[in-house]
Chain A
Amino acid sequence: MNALLVLLAAALLACGAVPEAHAAKKVKAAFVLLESVNDHGWTEAHHEGIQHLKKTLGDQVEVSYTENIVSPTDAERVMRDYARKGYDIVFGTTFGYMDVMAKLSLEFPGTKWDHCSGYKTTANMGNYFGRIEQGEYLAGYMSGLMGFKNVGTVATQPIPEPIRGINAFTRGLQKGLKEAGVTFDENKVNTVVWLKSWRDAQGETTLAETLAGRGHDLIRQMADTPDSAKAACAMNVPAIGYGMDVTRFGAGCSLVSTVWNWGPYYVKAVKAVADGSWKPGEYWAGFEDDIVRLSPFHASVPADVQKKVLAELEKMKAGKDESFLGPILGQDGKELYPAGSRVPDKDLLTKRFLVKGVSGSIPD
């Protein structure tokens, strides 16, 4: 019912795709967005990337976007419209558009297609994503150094993307706890409860309150709204934000947020279109490309902790990402990846496993 409603609303809004600039001989870039540009999360982060693109390239680029496109069928209509209008490149910003974009890329070979968070490519369709789990690893490391050892996670959909975040956070948390010399329950430092939704303000609130009420000392999440963090704050339990700096949206108790920064990628892609060097690639980068960031720390995060976390961040920028460096143990303690080996990207993108220290299971 709700989906139907969103669909109807989307159809209404879609009628007024927003044209933003006019001049001749420039790259025409179109963005198709999942939610509204002020959703306080996923889509707002993309919208800020779009703003960055416009500011950086000025009159070299003409940008349009359509928001609230939830269903792939809707996306197909909107994207086909952009392709027909002669847009040079169309960005689709949610997993669900993947098949539609792959299809349209064959239908419109002259248009360039770039898809966020998927795994398909064609002769003129690439994909891009950021390693937000690097940020989660650092947020976990920070939490461990501060002695949080009974974290509650508001988990969204049981697919590889949030699972990577859960695993990275848990590994960072354990590293921090060990460095801080805190004793902890090796099998249960991070309790995961699934919301089975990307965006459900009421459910997130109920879930975060349940976790806080059960005595979890820190609430982290990867949902598309800041409501888990807000609910935690209301119960005087600190939180970790995701997607955007949640302190901007009333979650003042958040210790740090992992933040998407799509702007530089959009600039790079549009520039490549302008000079003819654009190729359909599989882009997946992290701190080294500034596509993910950490928000400023909360005042209660001790200075030496901040220093250690930022030092680790510098290492990641230099390409030394240890978040998925073996040995990696599964929940049952069995070694999944031996010492010194790194979990291959293919496994990270497709496999569903939880590391030791996570309490909870992966539902189907």
Chain B
Amino acid sequence: MKLSKTTTEVFNEVGELTYFTARFFREIFSPRFEWREFFRQCYVIGYKSLPLIGLTGFIMGLVLTIQVRPTLIEYGVEARIPAMMGLSFVREIGPVLSALIFAGKIGSSMGAELGSMRVTEQIDSMEVSGTNPYKFLVVTRVLAATIMLPVLSSLSDVIGIYGSYVAFNIRGAMTLRLFISEVFNYLKFSDIFPAHIKCYFFGFAVGIIGCYKGYFTRLGTAGVGRAANSAVVVSSVLIFILDLLVVQITDLIGIG
């Protein structure tokens, strides 16, 4: 049986990505770790993404509350808005929304940055100067993305819930204290824990795909654009697949 060219390319890509990922786990435990670059990446990836992720979280909280309110009023359960928004933000909207924004901002910038470093021979230059470019560029970025996304997602949850509180108070009256108390009355550890864990997987997926696409950029500047673009597309699709898997797994083991 002869495989088509596209099928062969897909298998090649999956194989290369698997090897690239396996190399991450090998390199991360071998000395020496690039702490300085890691902290710089945490700052770039985490701190600089916060305004965008915070803003989208706030707007999402605001808009969702405005839109669901009339329906909930019809059923006489308007008071359940804090609980509903808290649950939906912590379990799904916060992690997935943050991850998608993160993929768009960080995944594309990793693809473009490493891609342009590849085509301008900066990665070769690192290797020639006796620095392991994978360790310096990839390990630090992937680890920073893996650690920073859960933090950003948690902050997005908080800001989103605050957005919901603001929207609730446009036509109603509830103190912030009561609103938050209502949110936490319905939140359980089993809601927070799986959602938090899946953020690490999302962050890792965005980091590894962005770096992989950039690290193996070919065909000059056109390739850089393609790397940035496909980093966003592939990592966004992967986020949904991982989300589906995590929901199924946590459901099966009974912590969902």
Is chain B a partner of chain A in the same complex?
A: no
**B interface residue numbers (CB < 8 A to A):** none
**A interface residue numbers (CB < 8 A to B):** none
